[in-house]
Structure 1
């Protein structure tokens, strides 16, 4: 009888989820005629997690394994001065971001896994530094998730600035889904907001609440690995890994609860349900979700005259299916999906560079530039 009731509950959840899954019913079209091709500009990289373009056009690239590369004039130079990187599972050297006023202050921001602090293992940390020739200097440690754990999953972590100069970053739930994401007194499963110097803004949503982590801006996240500011609205968009199904795109908002793991469009990797609901009062619905999961990572808005036929869309890399997905957006709704460059590799990162071109970090390939087919 118990087995029958369990099966009935599971089927009910599936039927309910199917009824709610309007966004994911928009299938990704393939093949799609693409007016662009990829050109390898930095070859032979392993897991190029993040990249940034310096003013003169050279590229700083983070390799997850703990190497910071400066690519200039066709040569790769390893940069010294990084702190010790905790390498475990999904953790390592992750994102990199220039300060919006880099030309005047020289600050470069990094997210990485660190073993510093309480407990064995590691957690996500944020630092900033300056580059002097081939060495990082003036290192300042801005934030460190607590406590450490030996679990290898869900470190996050992307970095972004908004138009007002606030610094945002993500830390995944660190494999502790039933505790961290819904508890504002704990790190993990959160998007954080700081001033560029690491201090906490006075208007952060949980400032003054007893024992709350003051840097939290939103919570109820699983593992955000894509983050980008919308170039016109200034909104901070993130994508995050779900379990089996239920990857999401969310627009971050102050103090909001995005529901993980109380609500979700996914199920356990074993195929069993872990929640009976996909929505709840006081919890935000995603702008879009994927079923099945695509394992999203890098994220960019191709708002450039170089890509006139890609306006009103967002690009998301798929680690699982090894393609770049274009989602066409209308009134904050996804109306169409396209698969681009299928089979090229695991798209870890994508960025719109100052020269107006898109560059993507593809695992095992390197940094590729997306250029017109007739270029």
Structure 2
């Protein structure tokens, strides 16, 4: 650790061939400085066994099962990255984040770099990168609460408990503010320049997160700030998204060499209403249908959405003929990704409602 402090983090890691710790740091008791845990253990091995030399990064695994308990048994304090923030620092960061979210919802210009610099003046020598990580943690908490988050701060999990509590407390204490943000981001506006080129992107990767233990209380928030639910019931937004998809289909069919098939396209939900299991009947090629269900949001790429049992069953029945078009960032620069076929194989599905009646099914 003395060597780490003397050389500095970058030089120390370069000398011993380690990358920056992703999860855990060990605190130098003399200086209070946090050092990369795995690199410290690797270098310490060389001090204890000079004839063998320091361990390389590939020689052993770091983390909660190996390096952390070893350091703790030796009497060192191990800190999970981001967990050493004080309550005042967390409160300041949460306040800064929600101010940026308010400006983004109102489509007012702001500079994330300036907010970062101003925020660091209130913190204890935090680096720009550590602040960015904390802001990404806030996005992850909001995403988990089904609320909109700042598009430029991609959700990053493993937020400290203090931060999670602070974000939840802000949401519960400021329902009108959160409602105004959701209302503003829910507003339907025609895209300034309608373009269907380069709109198609890959769907978000499936993220694995730790399941909350069954005996932990679940955070229950006012229904009016349920982001995915509001998207679903906002018929104006849904209709605008379907209109945009119709334009996208016209471009897709023309580019595929089948412009005449656009004349056979049917806007099913507009003609028959919801319940068919899809919104638009298009074509893959002559004689081959493409059944399109459209889910539209003003939110970001990874925003969750509501899907009905009927839509799930229809997707399974139609297999590769079914296409879910997820349109996002609609009011800014619409993009979409496509999920094809059986959705149960591609999504994490969580039941959220029940139909109540006075009938009991018998085996």
Shorter-chain TM-score tier? under 0.3
Query: Could you say which structure has the larger radius of gyration?
Result: 2
Higher RCO, Cα 8 Å, sep 6+: 1
TM-score (norm 2): 0.24
Taking structure 1 as the reference length, what is the TM-score of the superposition? Answer: 0.23
**Which has the larger share of helix?**
2
